[in-house]
A and B are shown apart, each in its own frame.
Chain A
Amino acid sequence: MRGATRVKCAVGVLAVALVATACGGGSDSGSSGGSSGGIVRASWGDPQNPLEPADTNEVQGGKVLDMVFRGLKKYDPKTAKAENMIAQSITSTDAQNFDIKIKPGWKFSNGEPVTSDSFINAWNYGADLRNAQLNAFFFAQIDGYSQVHPDATGAKPTATKLSGLTKVSDTEFKVKLSQKFSLWPDTLGYAAFYPLPQAFFTDHAAWLRKPIGNGPYEISSYTKGTGMSLRKWTGYRGPDAAVNNGVDLRVYTDNNTAYTDLQAGNIDLVDDIPATQLRNVKSDLGSRYINEPAGIIQTISFPLYAAGWSSAKSAMVRQGLSMAINRPQITQQIFQNTRTPASDWTSPVLGDAGGFKKGLCGQECEYNPAKAKQLIQQGGGLPGGRITIGYNADTGSHKEWVDAVCNSINNVLGNNRACVGAPTGTFADFRNKITNKQMTMPFRSGWQMDYPLIQDFLQPQYYTDASSNDSHYSNANFDNLINQANAESDNSKAIGLFQDAERQLVKDMPAIPLWYQNGSAGYSSNISNVTLNPFSVPVYNEIKVH
């Protein structure tokens, strides 16, 4: 039996190789080389869209815009509070007409001054339908938007400028909104509202190759798909100048490789720790691993338009399902505590003053197997006796937690086939099914805030016909409370009204809150003072290089 022994030997060797992979942890983190000249070397992902403020709606492009631009307001990296940056003051007496005064002396890195025209022109450009900007709807609150950007397919714009914007002087302009929205000034820290220099309009293609902004960094070179070098702009006069000399962003094909490169000392900062490394990250990096709450909440949404979920009684089924999910166990086992069990529909980064209220959802968001089973039965049972939870399989490793959630539900109901995951190949296809109302069963949904306001967590997702209302939830009381809150000029009263609206969600449960997502990052011993802002993006300008 010579052949048999030979095979055994080979299997032995193979087993050794596999074991070696399994225990790939280790505590080594050699930092050979080191960065030179005070430059931070950070990981990056290829931005999906051209790098312009009104067309960038994902985090990788947004990261760069936040380094090279400053807007009227900036969100404090720690407290998430919107604070005046370029704005001297933004005042209103009626929550609808705003008077914006800007500080003199701000400049773009090509020497152009930042004036009220820089904002007006940028906003008109972003709103104009002909430019097909992905962030156009951020201007929807401004009066005249429907003429510049009609919503229907094939409609032609009848104006090129937002009628709600009027220039008073180079340092002052007025904004008229189409309806009352008292918190509107606090949305102005979002990238879509950044000012643009004249150079953007005179030579658009050249500007896109190397964007020019007014922030603490300027772009020294940009190779699309490979990387970008940003250098401290010495002419920057704002209060938050960079303490390092620059940032080199390097595109990684895979976050695992970026993590390996961090261990090998070839890069200083990785702002996305791969899920597979979460078990090792503490032993690998020790205190150089950050795990902080970010403005992201994960939910399971229901197609309230589909038969089986539209009846009044089905709210009980949804509440029951919510109570059948063992959130603490899943966040610990699957996510290694990089998620926190959710007990409302907002995010802890808002802070208590900003409207976050722990436990607002009450017992409906707590694990209670007996009550869960009872509620589902009272509500008429699962539609068709079983449910599926839809997710996209291409990114984000959703399978693990969807399976865990289903498992939890199945255990509660004592039925192994009550809930299964339903993958869709790509994110695009998944989103298509949702926007075309083709869902018949619950599906995963997530929300990353655009600006740290409780309004941003509620209105876009649950207001009737709102842009991200995937459940197509519609409740008159909810809408009414949101309208009242938006018109309320007293901040704390407004937040109280938003929370009242949120309480309506407990009753109807259009989406089950699952958990708040944390941002994670790891860095080398070459740098210090690394923090993540509420959008889980590193605060680059505060990083110190040794």
Chain B
Amino acid sequence: MGRYVIRRLLQMVPVFIGTTFLIFVMVYALGDPVAAMFGDRAPDPATAAQIRHAMYLDHSLPAQYVHYMKQIFTGNFGTAATGQPVTELMGSAFPVTIRLTLVAFAIEAVAGIGLGLLAGMRRGRFADTGVLAFTLLVVAVPTFVTGYVLQYFLGVKWHVANPAVAEGAPIGDLILPGLVLAAVSLAYVARLTRTSVAENARADYVRTAVAKGLPKRRVVTVHLLRNSLIPVVTFLGTDIGGLMAGAVVTERIFNIHGVGYQLYQGILRQNPPTVVGFVTILVIIFLAANLLVDLLYAVLDPRIRYA
């Protein structure tokens, strides 16, 4: 187990370097950000050169990358276009997005697994068909449509929720955006759980448990659900990163000043430190979540062991 974790951690190093380099190149490929700062006016060469020098843009791409990575390891993520250190932006953006992600994740896991279990247990009956139709609808409608529709009806028409999240992003305000963000994944979780439960319901060990005379609740939660959750956990684990990075649309609609918003601003203003910095942290979260998922397998299914 320990050796497995170390091996996995070592594997993360090339992945980390590769992804950050790719992102760096992509932002770089967008072009020179200095021209846009001057609006519809041609920058005067002297000022432009001065700004480029301050942003380390007057060096070659590999030199810039090395310089940037060196900075990162001293905890300096550079400065954003507004002159704020990127770490300051992270400090305000990540807590907000993490809260939003947790709300979405809770909704997705509870509602998704619940619906999937319900459908899987009543295979072919009305509940099953209903869940199927519901998930089809949710998957088919794009996030921004659900977002704007719910925002308009719940926020403006019925005054049930705030259409825009207040400063500091209190949990109460995040429920509606969390629901929108979770919707598509929720549908997948429900469908995955349903299939897995439906399949395992006929397995020998379930029949044995029933024959032993165990109460139905115990059969379902301990025997059936636990074994059916393995594919679902894989999905949920990788989805944490997806939710955090995919919040761009939701954050825009509900005025949440989180990671998605900062990334969007960074791309719009072509500010490599902002974009690469945030993506780097997201990459780390992705990798950590994946490792965690793999370790969870062993907990869920004792047959899986890591050497």
Interface positions of A (Cβ within 8 A of B): 6-7, 9-10, 13-14, 17-18, 20-21, 24, 26, 28, 30, 32, 46-50, 57-58, 129-130, 132-134, 136-137, 149-155, 208, 223-227, 250-254, 256-258, 260-261, 263-264, 266, 394-395, 425-429, 431-432, 434-435, 445-448, 460, 467-470
Contacts and interface: CB of A to CB of B under 8 A. Distances in A.
Top 9 A-B pairs, shortest CB-CB distance: A428-B36, A429-B31, A431-B35, A132-B50, A153-B45, A50-B83, A153-B49, A257-B255, A432-B35
Given A132-B54, A133-B47, A435-B35, A253 B251 contact: yes
B157 interface: yes
Interface in B16-71: 30-33, 35-51, 54
B196 interface: no
A417 to B, nearest CB: 29
Contact of B36 (A46, A153, A431): A431
B92 A10 contact: no
Interface stretch (B1-9, B135-143, B199-207, B230-238): B135-143
A395 B31 CA distance: 16
B255 A261 contact: yes
A58 B30 CA distance: 22
B47 A254 contact: no
A209 to B, nearest CB: 10
B132 A6 contact: yes
Contacts of B35: 428, 431-432, 435
A451 to B, nearest CB: 14
Of the listed residues B153, B251, B257, the one surrounded by the most CB atoms of chain A closer than 10 A to its CB is B257
A223 B44 contact: no
Interface string B77-120: 00001111000110010000000000000000000000000000
B41 A28 contact: no
A58 B40 contact: no
A431 B37 CA distance: 10
Contacts of A134: 37-38, 47
Contacts of B193: none
Contacts of A250: 167
B148 A21 contact: yes
Given A49-B37, A468-B40, 7 more contacts: A14-B137, A132-B51, A264-B162, A264-B163, A425-B30, A431-B38, A467-B41
A24 B268 CA distance: 29
A208 B83 contact: yes
Given A20-B149, A257-B252, A260-B151, A150 B46 contact: yes
Contacts of A468: 40-42
A134 B140 CA distance: 47
A49 B81 contact: yes
Contacts of B155: 260, 264
Given A21-B149, A226-B257, A448 B31 contact: no
14 contacts: A50-B83, A129-B47, A225-B89, A225-B262, A226-B167, A252-B255, A253-B261, A257-B151, A257-B164, A260-B156, A428-B35, A434-B42, A467-B44, A470-B40
A57 B145 contact: no
A374 B289 CA distance: 67
Contact of B82 (A48, A149, A428, A434): A48
A136 B145 CA distance: 45
Of the listed residues A130, A264, A446, the one surrounded by the most CB atoms of chain B closer than 10 A to its CB is A264
Given A57-B38, A224-B84, A428 B31 contact: yes
A32 B40 contact: no
B294 to A, nearest CB: 35
B31 A227 contact: no
Nearest to A20: B149
Contacts of A469: 42
B30 A429 contact: yes
A251 B251 CA distance: 13
A149 B256 CA distance: 41
Given A264-B156, A460-B41, A468-B41, A432 B32 contact: yes
Contacts of A150: 46
Contacts of B152: 24, 260
Contacts of A154: 46, 49
Contact of A446 (B40, B133, B167, B252): B40
Given A17-B149, A266-B164, A445 B40 contact: yes
Interface residues of B, number: 65
Interface of B: 30-33, 35-51, 54, 81-84, 88-89, 92, 129, 132-133, 136-137, 140-141, 145, 148-149, 151-153, 155-157, 159, 162-164, 167, 251-257, 261-262, 264-265, 267-270
Contact of A395 (B88, B145, B268): B268
A111 B201 CA distance: 79
B145 A254 contact: no
A404 B59 CA distance: 42
B170 to A, nearest CB: 14
A261 B163 contact: yes
Given A150-B46, A447-B40, A467-B42, A17 B145 contact: yes
B44 A137 contact: yes
Contacts of B164: 252, 257-258, 260-261, 264, 266
B41 A254 contact: no
Contacts of A58: 39
Nearest to B42: A435
Given A134-B37, A266-B162, A435-B35, A17 B141 contact: yes
Nearest to B88: A224
Contacts of B38: 57, 134, 431
A24 B146 CA distance: 12
A434 B170 CA distance: 45
B136 A266 contact: no
Contacts of B50: 129-130, 132
Contacts of B54: 132
A24 B46 contact: no
A226 B164 CA distance: 13
A532 B167 CA distance: 27
Contact of A254 (B31, B253, B262): B253
Contacts of B136: 7, 10
Contacts of A431: 35-36, 38, 40
A420 to B, nearest CB: 22
A21 to B, nearest CB: 5
A153 B46 contact: yes
Nearest to B164: A261
A134 to B, nearest CB: 6
A48 B167 contact: no
Contacts of A226: 92, 167, 257
Nearest to A131: B50
A434 B269 CA distance: 17
Nearest to A25: B152
Contacts of B153: 20
B51 A10 contact: no
B167 A227 contact: yes
Given A149-B46, A431-B36, A253 B256 contact: yes
